[in-house]
Structure 1
Amino acid sequence: MKYWTCCQRKTSDFTSFLEQEGCTTGNHTWIKKRNEGTHETCRFDWHQTGSLVVISVFSKLPIPNLSFVEANRVKVHMYITFGEDRNVFDETLVLTGVINVEKSSVQFLGTKTEIQLKKAEPVSWRYLYLPKAKAKEPEDVDCNLDDD
């Protein structure tokens, strides 16, 4: 049986179904609505040369006009919209070294976003970023006071 979900007029012939008028009170959804803008985690990696640190975010089909990378001397914020579903990768890293923001750059490629950070000093970085601090759990304190 073929029918419009809004008006429930049923027919078994496909040509009759195509000629059948829809109801006047409902709306037909021809294209499924996408759940755009869901936050995703992307794999990212880094390597360094003497003067550069290169971060590669593996986000297939990044959309440059909906993405940005912000940086200061010790922090990088990456907001990358990618893919047909317009997923979002949003990450902020506190770097272990200092960079020269004016000489750094970003490239949006087909399979990844490449962020080239110019080092302020040509020294080797052991790690790319500092681990995020966890909130301290409250300590159990024994509040029993003895009158001894």
Structure 2
Amino acid sequence: MPRCTNKGCLKDFDESANEEGSCSYHPGGPVFHEGLKSWSCCNEVNKPVLEFDQFMAIPPCAKGKHSSAVPTSSSSSPKPAEAPSGPTSVSATGVETYGTAKPDKPESGSRTPNANSNVAVSSTASAPAPAQKVVEEEDDLSIPVPQGAKCKRLGCGAEWVDEGAIFHEGSKGYLCCKRRVLEFSEFLKIEGCKEGNHLFVGAKKDESKEEIVTCRLDHYQTPLQVHVSAFAKGADKEKSTVKFEGQSLHLDLYLPANKRVVKTVTLYGPIDAEKSTFRILSTKVDIVLQKPSASSWPLLELPAPGTELPPGYALTFGVSGRTGTVGGKEIVLAPEELARRG
């Protein structure tokens, strides 16, 4: 049976049963712009999406009959060249003639103007100069693209991502094979380059197996405290623990779906473990680290040995002289920073 070539359908159909409304398709074309994907015919109803799988799942917006015709790309005809602003011809006596239209044939018995006439008639129409075809530079598909390379075309700035389908400047294909096509319908017909079993729902996740994950840490500080936010949404208040030591923070957070955060942070400076506190909220864990004395931490975590901070980095916070930092006169540094500066 033939396969329907309508965009968004691509189903096999029986020509004898090809009735009106049996085909659901997109009458417009695909639109790919800055990572967003949509169909021109229904981008107001079906909003653009980011993932290619989501784009393929956009429901068709029109119904009709199946078609096996090869899709053709329509090209717009070039605009006619504008009439030149200067004269198109100058006679021997200096008479200028404007316009590009070819004059009508003189009627029988009429006289053709001679060189001494005050009116000059253009004998031939000046045809517009053909527009020069601009040859766009394209990638050599035999040359590998380094990860993170940016598009060299002005105003684009797209970054190469080494995965999935490739859509760039009209060229479409898959990373795993080198074939590239221009038309989207041809892209959908690219045959797979690997054989194996079908994959419809993926592997079943073992809910009984614990998954170790990470969480993001943000912080800000005052002269005597460091406030840390551990973004672990839905942490179990009964099972989760936060422990403090002399210069360490230990997180053991139990999350939904059998996920767990186990993390030890070596802090930039010492803390008072007994006065440090934490609260487990619905979206995060709030932690307050108590400093033994007023000082500034340029970082939350102590850098690895040999890691140099930029000059003046530790001077961004921490002064003495009055309460807090407003009006303070003397910069306060952590003991580690003082020892490093020697």
Unmatched runs of 5 consecutive residues or more in structure 2: 1-204, 306-342
Matched, 1:104 2:273: no
Q: Is structure 2 residue 321 aligned with structure 1 residue 116?
A: no
Cα distance in structure 1, aligned partners of 2:210 and 2:237: 15
What does 1:57-76 correspond to in 2, within 5 Å? 57-76=230-249
Shift of 1:131: 3.6
1:29 alignment partner in structure 2: none
Percent identical pairs in the alignment equals 32
Counterpart amino acid of residue 93 in structure 1: V
Contact 2:242 2:251 in 1 (8 A): yes
TM-score by length of 1: 0.62
CA contact (8 A) 1:59 1:113 kept: yes
Q: 3-state DSSP class of the match of 1:39? A: strand
Q: Quick one: which amino acid aligns to residue 113 of structure 1?
A: V
1:38 to 211, 220, 235: 211
2:220 corresponds to which letter in structure 1? H
| 1:54 aligned onto 2:227 | yes
User: What's the secondary structure of 1:130's corresponding residue?
Assistant: coil
| 3-state SS of paired residue (1:80) | strand
Count of aligned pairs: 101
Name the CA shift for 1:37/1:131 in 2 (closer, same or farther; >3 Å).
Answer: farther
CA contact (8 A) 2:244 2:276 kept: no
Contact map agreement 2:223 2:295 (CA 8 A) in 1: yes
Q: Provide the C-alpha distance between the structure 2 equivalents of 1:78 and 1:131, rounded to a whole number of angstroms.
A: 19
The verdict on how the C-alpha distance between 1:60 and 1:36 changes in structure 2, with shifts beyond 3 A counting, is: farther
Greater radius of gyration (CA): 2
Aligned to 1:92: 264
> Matches of 1:86 and 1:47 in 2, distance apart?
30
Letter in 2 for 1:106: F
4+ runs of 1 displaced by more than 3 Å? none
In structure 2, relative to structure 1, the CA distance for the partners of 1:121 and 1:67 (3 Å cut) is same
* Offset of residue 37 of structure 1: 2.4
Cα deviation, 1:63-107, whole Å, max 9, x if unaligned, reads 011111111111111111122x13111111111111111111110
Q: Which residue type is aligned with residue 264 of structure 2?
A: T
Q: Could you say which structure has the higher strand fraction? A: 1
Q: CA separation of 1:35/1:44 partners in 2, compared to 1, >3 Å: closer, same or farther?
A: farther
Match of 2:250 among 57, 77, 100: 77
Contact 2:271 2:289 in 1 (8 A): yes
TM-score, length of structure 2 as denominator length: 0.28
Judged with a 3 Å threshold, the aligned counterparts in structure 2 of structure 1 residues 82 and 117 are, in CA distance, closer, same or farther, namely same
**Aligned-partner Cα distance in 2 for 1:54–1:86:** 28
Q: In the alignment, residue 278 of structure 2 is paired with which amino acid?
A: V
Q: Distance in 1 between matches of 2:304 and 2:261?
A: 17
Counterpart AA for 2:239: L
Offset of residue 132 of structure 1: 5.3
Partner of 1:141: none
How far does the alpha carbon of each residue in 1:15-42 deviate from its partner, in whole angstroms, 9 at most, with x for none?
xxxxxxxxxxxxxxxxx86245210111
Q: Larger relative CO (CA 8 A, sep 6+): 1 or 2?
A: 1
Residue in 2 that maps onto 1:139:
none
Whole-angstrom distance in 2 between the partners of 1:91 and 1:69: 10
